[in-house]
Structure 1
Amino acid sequence: MRGTLVLAGVLALAAVSGPPVIAAPAAAGDVTADISRNPATGIFELTVQKAGRVVLPASPLGIRTATADLTTGLRETARSTRVVNETYRMTTGKRLDRAVQHTETRISLADTGNARFDLVLRVAPDGVAYRYELQAATDVLSEASAFAIPGNASAWLMDYSPQHENQRFRTTAGGAALREYGNPSLFQIGQDFVLLTESNVDGRYAGSSLVHTGGGRYQVQLKDQRVLGARIGPWRTMIVGDLATVTESTLVDDLADPSRISDTSWIRPGKVAWSWLSEHSSPSDFERQRVYVDFAARNGWPYALVDEGWSSQWVPELTRYARAKGVDILLWYHWNSVDTADERKREFDLLQAWGVKGVKVDFMESDSQSRYQFYDAILAETAQRHLMINFHGSTIPHGLARAWPHLLTMEAVHGAEQLPQPNGNPIQPFTRNVVGSMDFTPVSLEVGPRVASIAHEIALPVVFESGWTHFADKPEAYGRFPEALRFLNQVPTVWHQTELVNGFPGESAVFARRNGDRWFVGGIALGGARTMTVPLSFLGSGSWLVETIKDGSGRSDVVRTTSVHSSADTLSVPVPENGGFAAVICPVTPGRTSCYQPIAQVPDTSLTVTPAGSVTVTPGSSFEVTGSFTNSSMRPLTDVELKPSVPAGWTVTGAPVTATVLRPNAVLNARWTITVPANVSSGGFEVPIAAEYQVPDFPRVHVARTVRGLVPLTGSAYVSDLPFDSATNGWGPVERDMSNGETGGGDGRTLTVAGTTYAKGLGVHAVSDVVISLGGTCRTFTASVGLDDETTSPGSVAFQVVGDGRVLGETGVMRTGTPAAPIAVDLASVQVLSLHVSDGGDGKNFDHADWVNAHLAC
């Protein structure tokens, strides 16, 4: 919306006989909502108007519960009205600071049996919303809620799927096939637009779709046949106005619950280097991930996301490497691996210890109440641990980012992962992106179909809004387009203001977004070459420096030109077929020749620790560690602290060493004594020594090195009862004393090989490695090995016992149904034991393998 729209007065009640009518006039927006009882059917209906024009004809209201049909035969028992005035601040979105000015009427309704509920109506300058509030929690079966759209209205719809990733297409409200469509859905009714969606949906309810039942009538269909224990429903939301009002609306967030997080200082939107799309195998490659970290650091991107395939064996080291360069690590999870409270505690506590700052959680693919309860739980638990989050394979935004501001983006879009043609791009900002941050993963310069122009691609992070922007291509690809990369390095992901300049769904879109005193403009178009125009009326007074980035010849790098304009001017940019452009605009000031700002880099520092090699300790003993932190740069560091972190129950003698200022070439030295508990468990351990400091343009920088050691195993033990140095697995986690099961932890069955069951052992899936430090104190390893009976098809694997890199024993290829084979090896002087399972040479499908009765004698 342009400017501030003020809702005037309160709901005006009709002082006439006949059906009750409610009207809510908005002085600037001219949106009114009328609720009346249809005398022919006895059904309460909603009508919405814009400036006297009907945009939503009379549409039914009501709800059916397990105990009452609250759709007909209702009477009004009470009514109250209030004005809702709120202000709040977001961490993401079209603008950070929001003001809510709604008129709310609550109508209490009862049926003939005196079953009651409240119909709550909100009218805002940019739309209308209503919800049902039941007197007591009960099971909800369905809603009568529907939207009667004129049949000739243009419609931009998406076939419903629970991951919300189908393409959107243009049709008419009445001509659309009679089937399910996903929220949000956009309709043009005469000169007005209406975007239908829902807000404030969480685990108290279920999500919904819109079913076209004929003639332009779209029925709300709940995604559960029975919503359990519901009391307050979500807001059925209609954003109403011209295209600018719809695209700039924050109504979905305005209707949502207030933030549950009081301190948001740890939440940091930003750009993300991401490798999975351009090279699917790279997330399993430590060295390749270091390349992405280096690229992010050089270009001022604060994050690198390691997607599916990362290993706990090297992520801690990668995180330390990245944090020293001012880059934080984000990690991908399949939702099944964190769908229980125990799994989330185990995994997220580990991420906190490593220094990981956020997670991408994938494949929820459901709008059921139970899946929304999962969202509630994981949002609360990540917030508690100061882990930011991104949902993929998810539902659409419902205002969750207001309630949980560490939710920085969601997928729910036919994005770059689909390798799409560009024809969907100019639809998304008028539909999906209206309701919240959208993780499209933009800017595919070399990966994908290469149909959109280079300038079209680099305009997408301005046209599309996302609190985290994950860039789709590899460092080398961006390096071949240096001018395009320079622009990407300037684009923020946080906006103080958003304006739709011009465009039309499916044809073109030009957006201007402001961060501080700089405006960023992005324009995209479909079809043949043309000249795109940008009226600069969104600018303030005075002269403005405009740097325009447009396509070069063919598929070469973009070209940047500079000019000076005022708000009375119009910028014209020629674009090629499926082209686009971008611009950066800033006030003209003396000496300013560019709107581009320098890319911040962390200072050069070094940290050395001792002991440099592995240390072996016994229960109850002590050992010394030292740290030496050097400022190798020409910049002073402030608020420096150097300290160790020890496992729970261990003690440190000696305080952290600090310096208010560490000047260039200065060194901070420290020495501590670490005492090991008398009851410490055997296994490997790490003592990180970390220097943290403050420097402008960065959050607190963390530089760490690790002292590694071992508490040797004594006596004898089953391997499933011991801590692992690391464990990697081809399907879900390694399971202790149960079969591998599915992708979640603890979901296996009794270990069973060729019909024989076992109580102790490890359940794994090829390719798998379990690593345990022994310290040279163990004599033998024994086990029986084979494929578990739980799979539905035959598999094949090979088992190896590896000591200090040498194969000590192996089975050759084994197949499903073969009895467990004994394996025994001599471990004299072995420091590190690895239990390895390969896929048998024919792929890893159905390769659930068991190390049963795996035992160490030491």
Structure 2
Amino acid sequence: MTRKLLFVAALMAVGLCRAEEVKVKSPSGNLEVTISDEGGKATYCVSLDGKQMVTKSNLGLNTSIGDLINGLKIVGSKTEAVEKQYDIRNIKTSHVDYKANKLVLTLENQQKLQMNITFMVSDNDVAFRYGIKKGPRDKQRTLIFGEATSFNFPDGTTTFITPQIGPETGWAQTKPSYEEGYSVDGKLTDKSHYGRGYTFPCLFHLSEGWALVSETGTTGTYCGTHLSDYQPESGYTIAFPDKGENGGFGSEFVAMSLPAETPWRTITVGKTLKPIVETTVSYDVVDPLYEPAYDYKSGRYTWSWLLWQDGATNYDDQVKLIDLASIMGYEYCLVDALWDAQIGRDRMVELSKYAQSKGVSLMLWYNSNGAWNDAPQGPRNCLNSSLARNREFAWLQKIGVKGIKVDFFGGDKQETLRLYEDIMVDANRYDIQVIFHGCTLPRGWERMFPNYVASEAVLASENVFFGEGAAIHEPFDLCLHPFCRNAIASMDWGGVIMNKHMSRDNKSRHSRKTTDIFEMASGITNQTSIQCVAMYPNNLTELPQFELDFLRQLPATWDETQFVDGYPGKYVVLARRHGADWYIAGLNAQKEPLKLNLQLPMFAGKVATLYVDNQKGEPTKTTVKVDKKGIAKITIQPNGGLIIK
């Protein structure tokens, strides 16, 4: 080969190896995402005000129609500004103005198979997803075996994360169900407790701020994913469900018809925790899948099972909880498991009629089963097929039931996600709202499914009943979730607990470790559009009148949410607005009194009502003068609470 030809060949090789780099910034320019195809690998990184928040991390899909991880080249890009406004009734705010810059990248592998990656970049949020328009040789479908998608963070980052547990574990083989404990300020290199990675959402404390990682837009067209254990080179990688989930039924992979798009991966970043708490990215990048067939109502509900347990699912005890809901002005009463056997369908007709006469609507518990767990509680086999669901929902509508709580799913397979979707879609035709327990994390469902309310997907209040250890841990839990679990989705924690002891007689078993004001404030810091107030008839005579008055008017929906102060697992102070009224709620999980100078511009120069514990942990109602600069000096007692309104 002549020198000239060698020179030309060398130039061509350099051209082929030259990395393409594409950048997209947020509307304000403060947040920047950089995507590269260096070395045939697609990678991205995220910076905020010039500081690295997400370091070099991988992109790509492993599919049955081709390798979309290796040998990739960016062959096209398009950027446009996006603005949309939407109203929503059942999240932390009632109206959202969303502004972002949208980047659509086209990448091609060596066999000319193409994949799109769409990035939506707003001032504190990044969302991205993959798309495949068509396959090779007229292929109309593909399997997704996994993702290269990863999240890497600067050295020194600490973690607030909860481990993924293995399949067919827990009571009656009903896990994984997102009910494990969180580590706090852990090391990136720490191995997960069960060796299976971590469930979403995952909160990270960086030297330059905070990052919250999750996903949204997941339906029955994909599986729910989680994060792997940390690897020094790649960070945390998207992991698919375990083969044994859902009782071993269904594939751990994903089957998609082409063209296809994956769910969104989301990253919220901030110098402070304010963008983390206030983010709406879970809803910003998705749209309603169908119109609500009915005018669904938010509200509060009473629930016998938390302290009275299985034996209370009888007609007479449910009448007591209905009467309590009526006295308190609550809209709903939840009748839990075993009602089919211990009340019966004929008497359930009577019970629903009685509730309606008291201005209360019933919600009924169901087992999701099917064949995927051994949980014996009924009703069973009522929601596991379209025929069974439509028959059951028609009956519920006929007798005036307005909601269901569906329990015991155990997994994130595509097969399981289809069931969630099918339940919500079918329920919408019959004026039924849906709460899930023993379940996966909701991923944008409040906006996608208009009759969806909330999911448990957290180590919730029932554990406060089960053991004193969980009661001791409750303050920590409720000071953590506004920054992670409840920041990205509605959370049915399952009860503002007003009994002093975890028993029906309110004297035996272990005590509650939080103050009354803590519990009342948790009804504000915990966000769900149908809020459980786990009161019992004895509370009507045992609680001070001012507590009863507050609990009667406790809102369940919010028009605006603002972060005021806090640190995950230690304390939290939030401001939420309902109509024209602001509510400031604070919780302290620490062992010492917490003295705060709160910035409350909405109360500047005003005298506001203050609910706070005294030094003995006893509830008081008084007033607080907020100065003209909006500063209020407040002390929150250990395991205590604060409400200003």
**TM-score normalised over the length of structure 2:** 0.84
> Which residue of the partner structure matches residue 191 of structure 2?
177
Task: State whether structure 2 residue 337 is matched by structure 1 residue 308.
Answer: yes
Unaligned runs of 5+ in 1: 1-16, 585-858
Distance (Å, rounded) in 2 between the aligned partners of 1:189 and 1:529: 27
**Residue matched to 1:261:** 291
Query: How far 1:570 moved relative to its partner?
Result: 2.3
One-letter amino acid of the counterpart of residue 237, structure 2: Q
Q: Could you tell me how far 1:383 is from its partner in structure 2? A: 0.8
Output the aligned Cα RMSD: 1.9
Q: 1:477 aligns with which of 506, 520, 539?
A: 539
Residues 96-117 of structure 1 show CA distances to partners (whole Å, capped at 9, x for unaligned) of: 1112212111111111111111
1:107 corresponds to which residue?
105
Counterpart residue number, 1:561: 622
**Looking at both structures, which has the greater relative contact order when contacts are Cα pairs under 8 Å and sequence separation is at least 6?**
2
Whichever residue aligns with residue 386 of structure 1, its letter is D
Q: Tell me which residue corresponds to 2:5.
A: none
1:540, distance to aligned residue in structure 2 (A):
6.5
Residue of structure 2 in register with 1:371 after alignment: 416
Render the CA deviation track for 1:648-701: whole Å, top value 9, x for unaligned. Answer: xxxxxxxxxxxxxxxxxxxxxxxxxxxxxxxxxxxxxxxxxxxxxxxxxxxxxx
Which of these residues, 240, 252, 258, is aligned with residue 269 of structure 2?
A: 240
Instruction: Summarize deviations over 1:256-310 as a string: whole Å, max 9, x none.
Output: 233511565x211111111101101355211111111111111111111111122
**1:599-678 to 2 correspondences below 5 Å:** none
Name the residue aligned to 1:489: 552
Q: Is 1:582 aligned with 2:599? A: no
Corresponding residue to 2:429 among 376, 384, 387? 384
Distance 1:207 1:567, change over 3 A: farther
Shift of 1:340: 0.5
Instruction: Pick one of 296, 321, 338 that aligns with 2:325.
Output: 296
Q: Match of 1:133, SS?
A: strand
Tell me which moved more, 427-436 or 95-104.
Answer: 95-104
Distance in 2, Cα, partners of 1:381 & 1:413:
26
Q: Deviations over 1:688-733 (max 9, x none)?
A: xxxxxxxxxxxxxxxxxxxxxxxxxxxxxxxxxxxxxxxxxxxxxx
Cα distance, 1:518 vs structure 2: 0.8
Task: Kindly state the Cα deviation for residue 535 of structure 1 after the two structures are TM-superposed.
Answer: 2.4
SS at match of 2:306: coil
- Counterpart in the other structure of 2:95: 97
Whether 1:207 aligns to 2:224 is yes
Deviations 1:191-241, CA, capped at 9 Å, x for gaps: 311101001011100011101243381010011532112521111111111
| Matched-pair contact (CA < 8 Å) for 1:359–1:388 | yes
Secondary structure of the corresponding residue to residue 307 of structure 2: coil
Distance 1:152 1:144, change over 3 A: same
Structure 2 segments unaligned to the other structure (5+ residues)? 1-16, 135-140, 166-175, 242-250, 370-380, 465-469, 503-510
User: Shift in Å at residue 554 of structure 1?
Assistant: 4.3
Distance in 2 (alpha carbons) for counterparts of 1:528 and 1:510: 17
Query: CA contact under 8 A between 1:456 and 1:580: conserved in structure 2?
Result: yes
120-129 or 568-577: which moved more? 568-577
Q: Secondary structure at the match of 2:550?
A: helix
Alignment coverage as a number of residue pairs: 563
Q: Distance in 2 between matches of 1:350 and 1:274?
A: 22
| Residue identity in the other structure for 1:228 | A
Per the TM alignment, residue 255 of structure 1 is displaced from its structure 2 partner at its CA by: 1.5
Q: d(CA) in 2 for partners of 1:96 and 1:194?
A: 24
Q: Does 1:228 align with 2:255?
A: yes
Change (3 A) 1:452 1:352: same
Of 108-117 and 469-478, more deviation after overlay is shown by 469-478
Aligned to 2:8: none
Is the Cα–Cα contact under 8 Å of residues 404 and 435 in structure 2 kept in the other structure? yes
Question: Is 1:408 equivalent to 2:453 in the alignment?
Answer: yes
Are 2:486 and 1:433 aligned? yes
Contact 2:86 2:97 in 1 (8 A): yes
C-alpha spacing 1:538/1:20, structure 2 compared with 1 (3 Å) = farther
Q: Secondary structure at the match of 1:339?
A: coil
The structure whose residues are more often strand, as a share, is: 1
Decide whether the 8 Å contact of 1:501 with 1:534 is kept in 2: no
Match of residue 284 from structure 1: 313
User: What amino acid is the match of 2:444?
Assistant: G
In structure 1, how many angstroms separate the alpha carbons of the residues matched to 2:52 and 2:540?
Answer: 50
**1:341 and 2:404 equivalent?**
no
Q: Which residue of 1 aligns with 2:589?
A: 526
> Which residue number corresponds to residue 208 of structure 2?
191
The change in CA–CA distance for 1:73 and 1:567 in structure 2 (over 3 A counts) is farther
Post-superposition CA distance 1:432-489 (Å, at most 9, x none): 0011110111322334441122211111011111111112342313541233232222
Partner of 1:319: 352
Decide which structure has greater helix share. Answer: 2
Q: Deviations over 1:538-585 (max 9, x none)?
A: 4066x53411111256465x211124435623223333322122122x
Give the aligned partner of residue 32 of structure 1.
32
Q: Which stretch of structure 1 is more off in the superposition, 271-280 or 121-130?
A: 121-130
For 1:404 and 1:98, locate their aligned partners in 2 and report how far apart those are by CA, in whole Å.
17
Indicate if the aligned counterparts of 2:211 and 2:276 stay in contact, CA closer than 8 A.
yes
| Higher Cα radius of gyration | 1
Q: SS state of the match for residue 346, structure 2? A: coil
Instruction: Measure, in 2, the Cα distance between the counterparts of 1:575 and 1:118.
Output: 51
Letter of the structure 2 residue corresponding to residue 493 of structure 1: A
Does structure 1 conserve the Cα–Cα contact (< 8 Å) formed by 2:77 and 2:106? Answer: yes
Counterpart for residue 365 of structure 2: 332
Tell me if the contact between 2:615 and 2:637 (Cα under 8 Å) persists in the aligned partners: no
Query: Where has structure 1 moved over 6 Å in runs of 4 or more?
Result: none
Instruction: Identify if the C-alpha distance between structure 1 residues 107 and 553 changes in structure 2 by more than 3 Å, giving closer, same or farther.
Output: closer
- d(CA) in 2 for partners of 1:546 and 1:474? 29
* Structure-1 residue corresponding to 2:477: 424
* Corresponding residue SS for 1:278: helix
Q: Tell me what 2:282 maps to.
A: 252
In structure 1, the residue matched to 2:145 is 141
CA 1:108/1:452 → structure 2, altered by over 3 Å: closer, same or farther? same
What's the offset of the Cα at 1:312?
1.2
C-alpha distance in 1 between matches for 2:574 and 2:358: 33
Contact kept in structure 2, 1:536 and 1:566, CA below 8 Å? no
1:442 and 1:460 in contact (8 A); partners too? no
Deviation track 1:134-186 (CA, whole Å, cap 9, x = no partner) reads 12431100100011123421110101142101111214342321531110000
Secondary structure (helix, strand or coil) at the match of 2:555 reads coil
CA distance 1:248–1:520, change in 2 (3 Å): same
Q: 1:610-654 deviations in whole A, cap 9, x for unaligned?
A: xxxxxxxxxxxxxxxxxxxxxxxxxxxxxxxxxxxxxxxxxxxxx
Indicate how the Cα distance of structure 1 residues 89 and 307 shifts in structure 2: closer, same or farther if over 3 A, else same.
same
Distance change (3 Å), C-alpha of 1:486 and 1:62: same
| Cα distance change, pair 213–569 in 1 and its aligned pair in 2 (3 A) | closer
Kept in 1, the 8 Å contact 2:304–2:313? The answer is no
Distance 1:450 1:59 in 2: 45
**Residues 102 and 123, structure 1, Cα contact 8 Å, conserved in 2:** yes
2: CA distance, partners of 1:486 / 1:99: 35
Q: Is the 8 A contact 1:158 1:166 kept in 2?
A: yes
**CA distance in structure 2 between the partners assigned to 1:533 and 1:370 by the alignment:** 49
SS in 2 for 1:512: strand
Please show how residues 55-134 of structure 1 align to structure 2 within 5 Å: 55-134=53-132
Identity %: 26
